[in-house]
Chain A
Amino acid sequence: MPENVFAPWNDPAEKPLIQFKNVTKRFGDFTAVDDLSIDIYEKEFFALLGPSGCGKTTMMRMLAGFEKPTSGTILLDGKDISPIPPNKRSVNMMFQSYALFPHLTVYDNIAFGLKRSDMPKDQIDDRVQKMLKLVQIEKFAKRKPEQISGGQRQRVALARALAKAPKLLLLDEPLSALDKKLRQDTQFELMDIQEKTGTTFVIVTHDQEEAMTVASRVAVMNFGKLIQVDTPTQIYEAPNSTYVADFIGDVNIITGHAVGVNQTETIGSNDTETVSITWAEGQQPIIATTAQPTLTGKVSFVIRPEKLNITAERPSDASNAFQGKVLDIAYLGNLSTYHVEMPDGQIIKAQATNARRRANRAFTWEDEVWLSWTDTAGVVIAE
């Protein structure tokens, strides 16, 4: 792996900034966070991703100090933070509702935290000006929150949370109130600001696209547990469970029975093994490679729609090729998604890029087509 790649989680010498050690949080008889351990490193942009009620907000609120863990410890810089009240932690939070003080101007909102610290008065002004500039809202310094737009409020909230230069910045669904276009622009800006300030960001979101875009690592959560913690690419390309595969992006999940084929290859440092998966009566088995040796028995074969080729004729060189009938076409502009029905009734989604404008659409409803993919296109997951 090249030296300049940011991956402190792979470096055993690196000390984590935040450590969750067997943290459990219960509200009455509801367990929000269940015996969870995780390390988050300095300068990371860490995303907690999951459906509502999965415990991601509770984790963030424990970091901010608004909730105390029922058991387990949370370390910040090696120190247990549970006895420290929220106002004494070097952690700031950007709230989902922004929580801007309506009776204060933008300037005073940003200065609010600094005035509570022991920073000398003349330095406060410098710092506020710097923050205003960082998020490009100098023009609105004298306005009240109600007099600016949603996007500008989001910037004020970010500037206010960053003003005290916290070790850790928590972002609770920071972009959910913005419309899609603005959200995408802001995601890049957020990454930019994170890089400029070098602050560790922990973001909570239910929007998988957002998590994938901004984060250096993503933790997928469900029912208070971590399902997978990995880089966005790994989460997408190598999900460790059908839950993660299904939660992130569009996916075909085909269940079947795997039998090992004696054929071991070495790609990079990983040994891979080829398996053949019987998945439907009267069909050729699916040939796939897997990093997990001797994976046999009941499995799920997971493949992303964009990894499939859709052709009119049977391709000669593909390891896997199956014929089906086009049932539905979803035209998305840049892409089209074809729902192809297999003879046994299973529906497989395939995506094709609309690279050419006004091309004669190759396939239409009821057309017989061939779906094909290579043996490395999908992931085999044990059930």
Chain B
Amino acid sequence: MNWRRISLIAVPYLWLAALFLVPFLIVFKISLSDIALSIPPYTPTLDLSEGWSGLRNMISQLDFENFEFLADDDLYWKSYLSSLQIALISTFFCLLVGFPIAYGMANAPQEWQPTLMLLVILPFWTSFLIRVYSLIGLLSNEGMINQFLMWLGLINEPLTILNTNYAVYIGIVYTYCPFMILPIYATLIKLDGSLLEAAEDLGCSRTEAFWRITVPLSKAGIIAGCFLVFIPALGEFVIPSLLGGSDTLMIGKVLFEEFFSNRDWPVASAVAVILLLILIIPIVMYQRNEQRRIEAEQ
């Protein structure tokens, strides 16, 4: 291998090492430390002036106590499970909402498509936080949805949506839907219309042709969209803490509380390390799917 090639590959690897591996090692080291009333709020810290013995001294004081604590206290694994559940259900509803939108976009007249695409991306022009806050205005007991439903006479007293898991689902589905729509749209737009005609010609009804041709051929887009929603939703913190209730358990929220309310950096780090390990599985699966999709296109 020549030097040019190595230096070319080295750039992304250095980038990854500096911005992912090193921070991860620091977090991992903190997760093995103990809480302390000091700055930074954990021990041991690395004393570089002592050289090698300082490093050895530090490592000897590290242990897996925090991970054992996480395993013992059911709050943590319950939040992990609940996060998984919320992320899965939200992903499912995102797909349910996103696929028809993507399908409609792909089948819309050519000249409309850029506009429709713009409408899907438009929410990103506003701050994510502002959009979540505006959802509070919509969902609260005095919010527009309740007022509208009461004005219609459909309900007599306001529905409690805000501060429940429903609000969290609504928030996640609303926020992450574009991530579902765009990859599905990208695969549907490439679908050759003559395939559907061929299916019809060979005896399929329109609905059957949809399930046998359109859905399998947009599979790569569906999978990509699901991962793009599921992965960030799993660690989501802002939406559950702003829209969710006190009983909404999500690991992102727990993480935040450990760091900033309890100032227990070691436990928070351990939570983060486990979260990362959980996320690695879908991320690797997503990568594989992308690779296969690119290969299929070539």
Contacts and interface: CB of A to CB of B under 8 A. Distances in A.
Contacts, number: 59
Interface in A67-118: 85-88, 91-93, 95-97, 99-103, 112-113, 116-117
Given A87-B201, A87-B203, A164-B202, A97 B194 contact: yes
Interface size range of chain B in the complex: 10 to 19
Nearest to A112: B202
A87 B205 CA distance: 6
B204 interface: yes
A155 interface: no
Contact of A113 (B195, B203, B213, B216): B203
Given A116-B202, A116-B204, A116-B208, A95 B213 contact: no
Contacts of B201: 64-65, 86-87, 91-93, 161
Contacts of A112: 199, 202
A96 B208 CA distance: 23
Contacts of B208: 116
Contacts of A100: 198
Nearest to A86: B200
B202 A92 contact: yes
B197 interface: yes
Contacts of A339: none
B217 interface: yes
Interface residues of A, number: 26
A164 B192 contact: no
B171 to A, nearest CB: 35
A95 B203 contact: no
Nearest to B216: A103
B202 A95 contact: no
Interface string B212-231: 01001101000000000000
Given A87-B205, A95-B194, A116-B208, A101 B213 contact: yes
Interface in B92-136: none
A66 interface: yes
Nearest to A146: B296
Contacts of B199: 101, 112
Given A87-B205, A116-B208, A99 B200 contact: no
A87 B209 CA distance: 10
Nearest to A95: B194
B205 A93 contact: no
Contacts of A103: 216-217, 219
Of listed A88, A112, A117, A160, residue having the most chain B CB within 10 A: A112
B193 to A, nearest CB: 9
B217 A66 contact: no
A253 to B, nearest CB: 39
A88 B205 CA distance: 9
Contacts of B213: 101
Contact of A116 (B192, B195, B203, B296): B203
B197 A101 contact: no
B200 A101 contact: no
Nearest to A144: B296
A113 B202 contact: yes
B198 A99 contact: yes
Given A101-B213, A102-B217, A103-B217, A87 B200 contact: yes
A86 B198 CA distance: 10
Given A66-B200, A161-B201, 14 more contacts: A64-B201, A85-B200, A85-B205, A87-B203, A88-B203, A91-B201, A93-B201, A95-B197, A97-B194, A99-B195, A99-B197, A101-B198, A101-B199, A103-B219
4 tightest A-B contacts by CB? Answer: A116-B203, A113-B202, A99-B198, A99-B194
Interface of B: 192, 194-195, 197-205, 208, 213, 216-217, 219, 296
